[in-house]
């Protein structure tokens, strides 16, 4: 239950709360979702639900790290550039095959990288240290009556990769809780896993509210604006691994809002935008309070101070975490202004999605960057998340703002790659002073992989 006293009371709200407090409260109502089994190729960015333990060694057998000749190292004793040792070549073995015979004294077997070491051999002499008589022979040819001249003494074990040197049978290769990156996915493939259990990605319903909004692609009557928040918020959700589900636009009426919100109740989270500032407050408050429970907070941040947070309840689906036959659907009511909604999503929506996905490291790294201009936050007891451009020169980070910072100026976000974090008690930052910045994009495109639907179709 949300409040201490039990029952569906309003969340205990306070008039002004810090960003940290708002986040803590939101996350306390957000549960990690249940696991699902998925094709390995579709698990990028998801969290592994159980330890992946190796059932065999990798590599399975001792094998060669080089193309060359498998030899008995003792046979090469004393070999040098001017006094090569001659060995009779008795066969050849490629990666993926086991050599039938053995390397007897005075003989060698031609061997390709990755091939298991033939019995009797204890070292590999690379081609570069021989006269390589087979160089021009077509591959797979079985010329066996040649001799190879070895120009360097081989140490026992030279160029041999040991069985299990990557992974030992019984070893936990990827522990539960790991975020799967390409290297973990490769490691799981090396264990032969074609399906893995990962924490499910949340379905996040996105609802825009406001009589002034029209859907993109439609004609725009005078006085109306296109709904941009649904698009920026939906793609932010996708970028961090959620699955956005657009509910469209609700007008500022009880009936419209109620109807749209109910459509979103089979999602894992609902994100609305607008309707939380003074003008539409009452309609939204009434609807949310009747359908679930909600608190309206003033968060000490600029932009985006009004924020609604609450929960809806719907009958539990299989395996839900809420218990008691009900499923809890957290609701974040973002401010309407396009920049405010994106910044508030960054601070609250992103961590909530990451937590649902089983990730516990949602803190963005912060950099210290040198201000290239004066930044004023006077008479405003709020943390200032200004849209900015961070550049690096001579190993130092520099930060400049993206022009006018009004919370309706979405183009200030278009140019930005970072947000400043100017504390509430700092009135002015002078050029040359260092401030904290949160990087939003380190390089373009790096997170696109998560937004794709399925990688597992085969051509
Ligand atoms: P509100 O929170 O409803 O007072 O909205 C604040 C401002 O954000 C108003 O100027 C709205 O027109 C604008 N706004 C609200 N929702 C959207 C949206 N989905 N897309 C673009 N602008 C919006
Ligand atoms: Mg409005």
Check whether residue 186 and residue 248 sit in a common domain.
no
Using CB atoms within 10 Å of the CB of residue 18, give its burial: 0 to 12 exposed, 13 to 18 middle, 19+ buried. middle
276 lines ligand 1 (CB under 6 A): yes
Check whether residue 70 and residue 156 sit in a common domain.
yes
- Split into its structural domains, the chain has a count of 4
The confidence score (pLDDT) of residue 289 equals 85
Nearest 5°: phi and psi at 189?
Answer: -65, -35
| Ligand nearest to the CA of residue 276, numbered in listed order | 1
Is 449 among the domain residues?
Answer: no
- Where the chain has pLDDT below 70, the residues are 1-15, 135-145, 317-324, 443-459
CATH number of the domain to which 431 belongs: 2.40.340.10
Neighbours of ion ligand 2 (CB under 5 A): 210, 274, 280
The confidence score (pLDDT) of residue 394 equals 94
The confidence score (pLDDT) of residue 260 equals 95
The confidence score (pLDDT) of residue 141 equals 55
Check whether residue 294 and residue 149 sit in a common domain.
no
**Bridging pattern class, strands 301-302 and 326-334:** unpaired
Tokens 């608190």 belong to 295
Check whether residue 22 and residue 114 sit in a common domain.
no
Q: What is the pLDDT of residues 17-45, one digit of tens each?
A: 999 999 999 999 999 999 999 999 999 99
The confidence score (pLDDT) of residue 139 equals 59
Atom 17 (ligand 1) nearest CA: 336
Is 453 among the domain residues?
Answer: no
Which of 324, 356, 388 finishes a domain?
A: 356
338 lines ligand 1 (CB under 6 A): yes
CATH number of the domain to which 75 belongs: 2.170.190.11
255 Cα to the center of ligand 2, angstroms:
16
CATH number of the domain to which 182 belongs: 3.90.105.10
Nearest 5°: phi and psi at 310?
Answer: -165, -170
Check whether residue 213 and residue 265 sit in a common domain.
yes
Q: Answer yes or no: are the C-beta atoms of 59 and 166 closer than 8 Å.
A: yes
Tokens 């996915």 belong to 185
208 CA: nearest ligand 1 atom = 19
Q: Helix, strand or coil for residue 355?
A: helix
pTM recorded for the entire structure: 0.88
Q: Answer yes or no: are the C-beta atoms of 227 and 208 closer than 8 Å.
A: yes
229 lines ligand 1 (CB under 6 A): yes
- Domain range for 345: 2-33+201-356
Tokens of 384: 């200032």
């Amino acid at each position: 239950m949300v409040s201490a006293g039990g029952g569906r009371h309003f969340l205990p709200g306070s008039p002004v709360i810090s960003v940290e407090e708002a986040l803590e409260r939101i996350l306390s109502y957000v549960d990690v979702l249940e696991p699902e089994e998925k094709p390995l190729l579709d698990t990028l960015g998801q969290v592994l639900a159980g330890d992946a333990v190796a059932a065999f060694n990798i590599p399975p057998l001792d094998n060669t790290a080089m193309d060359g000749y498998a030899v008995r190292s003792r046979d090469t004793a004393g070999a040098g550039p001017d006094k090569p040792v001659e060995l009779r070549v008795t066969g050849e073995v490629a990666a993926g095959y086991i050599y039938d015979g053995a390397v007897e004294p005075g003989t060698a077997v031609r061997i390709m990288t990755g091939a298991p070491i033939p019995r009797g051999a204890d070292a590999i002499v690379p081609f570069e240290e021989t006269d390589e008589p087979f160089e021009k022979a077509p591959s797979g040819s079985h010329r066996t009556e040649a001799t190879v001249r070895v120009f360097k003494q081989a140490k026992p074990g030279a160029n041999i990769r040991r069985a299990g040197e990557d992974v030992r049978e019984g070893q936990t290769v990827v522990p539960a809780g790991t975020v799967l990156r390409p290297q973990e996915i490769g490691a799981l493939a090396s264990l032969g896993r074609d399906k893995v259990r990962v924490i499910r990605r949340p379905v996040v319903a996105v609802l825009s509210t406001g009589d002034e909004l029209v859907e993109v692609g439609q004609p725009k009557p005078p006085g109306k604006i296109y709904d941009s928040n649904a698009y920026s918020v939906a793609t932010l959700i996708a970028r961090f691994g959620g699955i956005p589900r657009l509910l469209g636009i609700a007008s500022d009426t009880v009936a419209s809002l109620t109807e749209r919100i109910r459509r979103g109740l089979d999602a894992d989270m609902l994100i609305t935008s607008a309707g939380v500032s003074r003008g539409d407050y009452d309609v939204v408050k009434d609807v949310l309070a009747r359908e679930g429970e909600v608190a309206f907070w003033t968060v000490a941040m600029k932009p985006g101070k009004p924020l609604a947070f609450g929960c809806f309840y719907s009958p539990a689906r299989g395996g839900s975490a809420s218990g008691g036959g009900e499923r809890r659907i957290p609701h974040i009511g973002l401010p309407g202004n396009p920049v405010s909604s994106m910044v508030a999503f960054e601070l609250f929506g992103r961590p909530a999605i990451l937590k649902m996905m089983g990730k516990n490291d949602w803190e963005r790294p912060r950099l210290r960057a040198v201000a290239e201009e004066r930044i004023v936050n006077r008479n405003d007891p709020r943390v200032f998340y200004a849209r900015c451009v961070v550049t690096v020169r001579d190993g130092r980070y520099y930060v400049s703002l993206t022009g006018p910072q009004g919370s309706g100026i979405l183009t200030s976000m278009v140019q930005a790659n970072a947000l400043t974090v100017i504390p509430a008690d700092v009135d002015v930052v002078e050029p040359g002073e260092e401030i904290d910045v949160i990087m939003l994009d380190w390089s373009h495109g790096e997170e696109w992989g998560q937004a794709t639907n399925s990688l597992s179709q085969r051509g």
